[in-house]
Chains A and B, each alone.
Chain A
């Protein structure tokens, strides 16, 4: 994608000079200090940084779960700050899929019911919502968990159900906080491949992680430090990589 093409499209997520201050006076903590970030359709962005750098704050602001102290957050061109509670809930439900670090599944609902819930709230029939939920479970390789309750699942299984819930209903923006923390390395990889495929199909995703191996599934990796974006790594084309890998190994052989 060329830069001119990129400029013409509305970003799915746009953080505009966002700051977030917690507490007051001596206890004041600047969690974010003026972050600008755009995530376009088809783009997968990973956020890395040491603990306390503002990663999670960034994600909660992007998801409309928290409001910035200054600056604004736009989802599909709509400023979240200007929405009333009802409209904001609607954006969160329809446009944004959020994977919480601690899953946040409702214990009294089965996996399929948990996943179907936001669609039912949106007015979809229970039957159609269940059909979508089953498809999402299939996509994550866990169709057998449909009628199990969260208490009856391992952490890794709950995590995959939480991801299925975030992906249902063609959400345009998927936000994920350490979505592979409870998964072994091959299952984690499968989940990241699903997120990657969603982005390749046109969605946008932002994931917070401290694992470089997971961040590497993204197109862009941004580094946060003390509430500021300090650096960024953009994936190059895979073909040119092979050339450079070949050149490197030639050098080693000589």
Chain B
């Protein structure tokens, strides 16, 4: 899981204590996925249980430091070397909602699509605004990182990559919505044509005769 490997990656740079790990994790991901200290300590104790990190002493203020073990380093390399699995796609609420909307009578599916598109474009606008700031200047613009997280070029880059991911993912959703709309329109047209066909058959007696002859 990502918190586990995220912490291993941070510890790979040298021993750290819990609060420090939280701050650094958030500095790199722009606090997009905030961690609470409790999660950090739970994860650390599991990592320790599995032999991937070990206690590395305390400082004078009583902070418990942790360091990565050889096994932990191997685990981290393996994580970087292995693609993130896509075999079990996460449940997507929107996909489920549309799948239900097309089957439940009386739902205005185009309204669902347009409402979602407006919402997603707005999110995209907001992410883009954050990116504009990130591109324009150093960390000073303040995007929520906690004090103590040293601003650095590599943290800026990490945050930009996370933002880009949010942007591309939202864009993909909007493109899919556009596609759904086209498909719905095509389907509606097809149904209209089908509905019109039997009527034409009834009216066109010669066609009926033809069919009987063939049979």
Q: Which residue of A lies closest to B115 (CB)?
A: A231
Contact with B along A182-195 (1 / 0, CB 8 A): 00000001000100
Given contacts A238-B129, A242-B143, A242-B144, contact A215 B121 (CB under 8 A): yes
The reply on A253 being an interface residue by CB < 8 A is: yes
Q: Is the CB of A241 within 8 A of B132?
A: no
Number of cross-chain contacts by CB at 8 Å: 85
| A235 and B32 contact, CB distance less than 8 A | no
Option from B33, B128, B136, B144 in Cβ contact (under 8 Å) with A216:
B128
Taking the complex as formed, is A201 at the interface, i.e. its CB lies under 8 A from any CB of chain B?
no
A230 at the interface (CB under 8 A from B): yes
Q: Which residues does chain B contribute within 8 Å of A215, judged by CB atoms?
A: 121, 124-125
- Whether a CB of chain A sits under 8 angstroms from the CB of B112 is no
**In the complex, are the beta carbons of B132 and A221 less than 8 A apart?**
no
Number of residues of chain A lying within 8 A (CB) of chain B: 30
Chain B interface main SS type: helix
Q: With contacts A213-B171, A216-B128, A241-B127 known, is A234 near B122, CB below 8 A?
A: yes
Contact of A238 among B133, B135, B136 (CB under 8 A): B133
Are B168 and A213 touching (Cβ within 8 A)? yes
Contact of A2 with B by CB under 8 A: no
Is there an interface contact between A212 and B126, defined as CB atoms closer than 8 Å?
no
- Shortest beta-carbon distance from B174 to chain A in Å: 4
> Is A223 part of the binding interface, using a Cβ–Cβ cutoff of 8 Å?
yes
How many whole Å from A23's CB to the nearest CB in chain B? 23
Contact with A along B91-123 (1 / 0, CB 8 A): 000000000000000000000001001111111
* Interface size in chain B (residues, C-beta < 8 A): 35
Q: Least Cβ distance of A168 to chain B in Å?
A: 23
- CA–CA, A193 to B137, complex, Å? 13
Q: Quick one: given A213-B168, A233-B125, are A193 and B34 in contact (CB under 8 Å)?
A: no
A212–chain B nearest beta-carbon distance, Å: 4
| Also in contact, A212 and B124, with CB within 8 A (given A196-B132, A246-B34) | yes
| A213-B39 contact given A231-B118, A238-B133, A242-B143, CB 8 Å threshold | no
Q: In the complex, are the beta carbons of A221 and B121 less than 8 A apart?
A: yes
Query: Which 3 pairs across A and B sit closest by C-beta, in order of nearness?
Result: A235-B125, A216-B124, A241-B126
Binding site for A on B (CB under 8 A): 31-34, 39, 114, 117-130, 132-133, 135-136, 143-144, 167-168, 170-171, 174-175, 178, 181-182
